[in-house]
Every structure is written in structure tokens, then in C-alpha cells.
Structure 1
Amino acid sequence: MSIIDNRKAFYDYSVEERYEAGLVLEGWEVKALRAGRGQIKEGYVVIKNNELFLIGTHISPLPEASTHIHPDPVRTRKLLLHSEEISKLIGKVEQRGYTLVPLNFHYKGGRVKCEIGLAKGKKQHDKRETEKKRDWEREKARLMRSPSQS
């Protein structure tokens, strides 16, 4: 079950491969995500020292959060993947011009996971083409649903 979806990622990028990564989160972040107080629309993944980090995601702290900690809603969060997966992703990102974007946060076995996509950016004309296809599919479904007017 998905907690947060990044629908903008599919508009801006063509996603070719998906990977599931663990997240290093603090306790207040997990509680805030359970309450649905997160946003990954502006997020992206960077590679530093052969590790993956999620940058630009916003997790709003709950108002009941502890008073002795000062939560940072947009802090950099480490992603956990197997080393083989990381080296494969690094090769594709550095050589072929791919980028890594977060697609969603979801639960798996009680833990919060992040699905990241290996994607290429779409050009403006590709975005328009996708929009036209989506509109046509919607129109086609509407025509199939409605009875004939003849």
C-alpha cells in the first residue's frame, strides 16, 4: 500500500526501471509519514561516495513531536540498497545520462520503503504527446461507456 505517490515523476520522466530501497528515517519521520504528512514531488536521488541519498523530500513533523529535538523537514535521507544494485545504478547514471527519482513511499513488513525509478527526462514535445495520448484514452473510454445517440 502506497503512502505517498510522485505522479509528477511520470509526467517529467520516462521511467525505465524500478528499484525498492530502504530509508534511514528518524522516529518522528515515521510517525509523520503514517499520518500522511510527506511530499516527494520535488525529491531526487544523488550519489555520494558510492551511496545513494534522497534530497528534497519534505516530511512535516507532527505538532505533538517531542520538544527536545528540532526536526528538519527537508533533511538528506540515506537510501539502502545492495552494493551490486548501487554499482549498476551508478554506471547507468554516469554513462548513459539517466537520473534517479523517487516514485513512492510504501510499507513492506512494517518498514517504510522508497521506490526509486531509473529515468530519462522528457522533452517538452514528449510531455505534450503523453498528454494527447492520455486525453485520447479518456475520450475513448467515455465513448465506449455512453450508449449510442442514434
Structure 2
Amino acid sequence: MAKQKKTSPGNIAQNKKALHDYFIEERFEAGVALAGWEVKSLRAGKAHLTDCYVLLKDGEAYLIGSHITPLMTASTHVIADPIRTRKLLLKGRELEKIFTAVQQKGYTCVALSLYWKKHLVKCEIALAKGKKDHDKRHVLKERDANREMQREFRQTNLK
């Protein structure tokens, strides 16, 4: 049985692939409409956001492709669909801002993480621009260069 890594006590799931594939421009916090068995599964940390995105339709936002594995003990009386479409709860101004950015400016709306805020489940979504392959390579080179600079800095401070 593999151990699950958790970065913080409030964090449920992260979409690291989105951070690799997109330049994140602006972040929003949205509530998620969930069923009871989904909340119990999220408390157990059984969620994945790897191929997840946000669909904007009819003035509302929906989370598509998120996978919440049902617990056997919690979903005995319900037919559980692990990858059902979940509604995101946003304010009207935020929805309008996201709609205009996606339609007019060519942004993509992606889900970055699921986390607990007190007793509520929140989803961090972001407006993002897609990275090209050369952009990804450039980011990796910058990260390696920064790591080397940190190593050199530590070496000089130790002496």
C-alpha cells in the first residue's frame, strides 16, 4: 500500500501538470457542489485533478475530469460516478471576468488544486496561457541555473 504525500493539512489534491503546461495569469477561489459520499472520499484524500479542466457554459462554470474515488463504506446505497461533472460556485463578477478572458483573449481556465477552507471544499482555478515546448525547456533551464546559484551561494557561505 503506497503512502500518499500531503503538502499541507488543508490540501486535498493538486494539478501539477497544469503548472507545467501553462503560464498561470490569474487565480480564483471557487466553491464546489459535492454529494455526501464525495466529501467523505475527499476527507480520505481520494481525489485526482491530473486531466481536469473548467468548462464555461450557460453563465456557469463546471469542473470536468476530476476523479473522486468512492469509498466502499460511504457509498453503499448510492450509485457513485467518480468522474461526474461538478458545478463550481463563483460570484457573478468573477464568472464574467473569466468568460471574457476565455472568449476574447484566448485564455484557458484550468483547475489547480482542491483544498479545505474550514469545513468547505474549495477549488483553485486559474486563467492560463498554454506553454510551447521551447517555453517548457526555458523554464527547466532557469530552474537548473537557480539551483546551481543556490549551491554556489551555500558553498561560499560555509567557507
Cα deviation for residue 133 of structure 1 reads: 0.9
Gaps of 5+ in 1: none
> Residue 13 in 1 paired to residue 22 in 2?
yes
Cα deviation for residue 147 of structure 1 reads: 5.5
Distance in structure 2 (CA, Å) of the matches to 1:91 and 1:23: 22
User: Residue 96 of structure 1 aligns to which amino acid in structure 2?
Assistant: K
> Residue 52 in 1 paired to residue 61 in 2?
yes
Partner residue, 2:94 = 85
Partner residue, 1:28 = 37
TM-score (norm 1): 0.93
Cα deviation for residue 109 of structure 1 reads: 2.5
For residues 1-44 of structure 1, what are the alpha-carbon distances to aligned partners after superposition, in whole Å with 9 as ceiling and x for unaligned? 32211111111000010000000001111111111110001100
> Residue 123 in 1 paired to residue 132 in 2?
yes
Distance in structure 1 (CA, Å) of the matches to 2:63 and 2:75: 24
Question: RMSD of aligned C-alpha atoms?
Answer: 1.7
The number of aligned residues is 150
Distance in structure 1 (CA, Å) of the matches to 2:32 and 2:60: 12
User: Residue 108 of structure 2 aligns to which amino acid in structure 1?
Assistant: T
User: Residue 53 of structure 2 aligns to which amino acid in structure 1?
Assistant: Y
Partner residue, 1:65 = 74
Runs of 4+ with deviation above 6 angstroms: none
Distance in structure 2 (CA, Å) of the matches to 1:43 and 1:98: 16
Partner residue, 2:104 = 95
Identity of aligned residues (%): 52
Distance in structure 2 (CA, Å) of the matches to 1:91 and 1:36: 34
SS of residue in 1 equivalent to 2:153: helix
Gaps of 5+ in 2: 1-9
Shift of the 147–88 alpha-carbon distance from structure 1 to 2, 3 Å rule, reads closer
TM-score (norm 2): 0.88
Cα deviation for residue 142 of structure 1 reads: 2.3
For residues 39-94 of structure 1, what are the alpha-carbon distances to aligned partners after superposition, in whole Å with 9 as ceiling and x for unaligned? 00110001110100000111111121232211111000000001111011101100
SS of residue in 2 equivalent to 1:106: strand
User: Residue 72 of structure 1 aligns to which amino acid in structure 2?
Assistant: D
> Residue 134 in 1 paired to residue 146 in 2?
no
User: Residue 114 of structure 1 aligns to which amino acid in structure 2?
Assistant: C
Distance in structure 2 (CA, Å) of the matches to 1:140 and 1:60: 42
